[in-house]
Amino acid sequence: MITNKNFGEIPQSYLFSEVAERVRRFEQQHPDARVLRLGIGDVTRPLAPAIVEALHSAVDEQAAAASFQGYGPETGYGFLREAIAAGEYAAIGVDVSPDEVFVGDGSKSDSANIQELFADSARVAVTDPVYPVYVDSNAMAGRLGTFDGDRWSNLSYIPCDDSNDYRPALPEEPVELIYLCSPNNPTGTTMSREDLEAWVAYARKTGAVILFDVAYRAFITGDDVPRSIYEIEGADEVAIEFGSFSKTAGFTGLRCSWTVVPKKLQRDGVSLHTMWLRRQSTKFNGTPYIVQRAAEATYSPAGREQVRADVEYYLANARLIRETLENAGVKAVGGEHSPYVWFRCPAGMDSWEFFDALLEQAQIVGTPGVGFGPTGAGHFRLSAFNTAEATQEAAGRLAELLPKLAS
């Protein structure tokens, strides 16, 4: 056998591919239907003017021999690494050196690829429900055993739902790799400082490595929710952090992210910083220069103001979705520090049953919770990444449909 047999163990339909296929079939059968998409987390606002201006300027540079840029450093240009260290970390009182920042082409790629640094035998733990990429990338590497019904045999699931206020408990069995996400995708919930202190202490005691995703950190409001795991003392010895410009600044199409691998983080006498540098230098040619200049512009005074306005726009959509659900008697979480709203499906419906009802009766697309893990069964996620007008229309349709489903 020359193919990777681990691919054969993975369920064939990726969650968002199945959603897209069901929507495609519905639109084919109902060509006049106005379908409102509150599912996949793709942004709808155009790029901020400061970002567009930076893109134009960088393109002009590429047109002149004196300023042309070809291959750049695989780790990212110094100007962006310094901007991230200052704008994302020093701004909140956290000391991250620019050379600990690696610029990438999306936190999806980085969080999927980071598992290459670890042994095939490393035991993985994920909160449940969970962003599917964390699970599938490790399944492709052969760490998770076999998929039995709704779960992997060698994966440690940490259930999070309304019974425990979405606070993941520390693992009861030994684990080496722990994926955490705050604000969480898909639930929209956040981890407190006390929560993160407990996780950092656990990792320091056991030698586990925390893989911490802050792709939605820009949506945090107020100072009571940590924006980085490095706000916790000792986290730089146990954690790798992933950030993204996709949701912060609408870069879902441009593709730009960062990963922080602290130099203090070592396992088996080896620096994970050195390992990630070797991996990126071998397999990655770097994020395009013009995109990195665009990302840099988000830290300018004008860029910060414009990007924050877009975040507030989506947060207003999220509040409307959550209020609509709660006014209909559906308890929901998220939507406060996050663009996602998470809830149990009404009338005891399962995730795909509610998906079909929502699509067929209200022409709204959401995301079935079961696609995020076993604890997501019977739950659903709605996204605020649509226009205010479409979200308002969807809220009206939801308000009309939900009482019918409950009766």
Q: What pLDDT shows up at residue 40?
A: 76
Q: Is residue 288 part of a domain?
A: yes
Residue-wise pLDDT tens digits, 52-63: 999 999 999 999
Q: What pLDDT shows up at residue 152?
A: 97
- State how far Cα 309 lies from the chain centre: 20
Shared domain for 133 and 262, answered yes or no, is yes
Q: Give, in order, the Cα–Cα distances in Å from 308 to each of 84, 106, 259, 311.
A: 16, 20, 22, 5
Residue 371 is part of a domain; what is its CATH number?
A: 3.90.1150.10
Shared domain for 122 and 27, answered yes or no, is no
pLDDT beneath 70, residues of the chain: 13-14
Q: Is residue 2 part of a domain?
A: no
Q: What pLDDT shows up at residue 223?
A: 86
Q: What pLDDT shows up at residue 98?
A: 98
Q: Is residue 219 part of a domain?
A: yes
Shared domain for 266 and 386, answered yes or no, is no
Shared domain for 324 and 376, answered yes or no, is yes
Shared domain for 15 and 152, answered yes or no, is no
Domain boundary (301, 336, 369) is at 301
Burial of residue 109, with CB atoms counted within 10 A of its CB: 0-12 exposed, 13-18 middle, 19 or more buried = middle
Q: Is 166 left (phi over 0), alpha (psi -120 to 50) or beta?
A: left
Q: Give, in order, the Cα–Cα distances in Å from 241 to each of 230, 238, 265.
A: 8, 10, 12
The model's pTM is: 0.96
Q: What pLDDT shows up at residue 370?
A: 94
Q: Is residue 306 part of a domain?
A: no
For residue 215, give its domain range: 51-301
* CA-based nearest residue to 215, from 188, 253, 176: 188
CA-CA distance, 101 to 59, in Å (whole number)? 25
Q: What pLDDT shows up at residue 74?
A: 96
Phi–psi pair at 198, nearest 5 degrees = -65, -40
* CA-based nearest residue to 102, from 116, 114, 119, 115: 114
Domain count, the chain: 2
Shared domain for 357 and 237, answered yes or no, is no
Shared domain for 209 and 151, answered yes or no, is yes
Domain boundary (262, 282, 301) is at 301
User: Is 231 within 8 Å of 92 (Cβ atoms)?
Assistant: yes
Q: b or e along 157-177 (b: 16 or more beta carbons within 10 Å of the residue's beta carbon)?
A: bbbbbeeeebebeebeeebbb
CA-CA distance, 334 to 381, in Å (whole number)? 10
Shared domain for 257 and 378, answered yes or no, is no
**Bond before 346 cis per omega within 30 degrees:** no
Q: Is residue 1 part of a domain?
A: no
User: Is 397 within 8 Å of 363 (Cβ atoms)?
Assistant: yes
Q: How far apart are the first and last CA of the chain?
A: 55
Shared domain for 206 and 328, answered yes or no, is no
Domain boundary (281, 301, 321) is at 301
Q: What pLDDT shows up at residue 11?
A: 84
Shared domain for 272 and 362, answered yes or no, is no
Shared domain for 289 and 368, answered yes or no, is no
Q: Is residue 190 part of a domain?
A: yes
* CA-based nearest residue to 390, from 66, 141, 38, 101: 38
User: Is 77 within 8 Å of 292 (Cβ atoms)?
Assistant: yes
Residue-wise pLDDT tens digits, 284-308: 999 999 999 999 999 999 999 999 9
* CA-based nearest residue to 116, from 277, 257, 304: 277
Residue-wise pLDDT tens digits, 243-277: 999 999 999 999 999 999 999 999 999 999 999 99
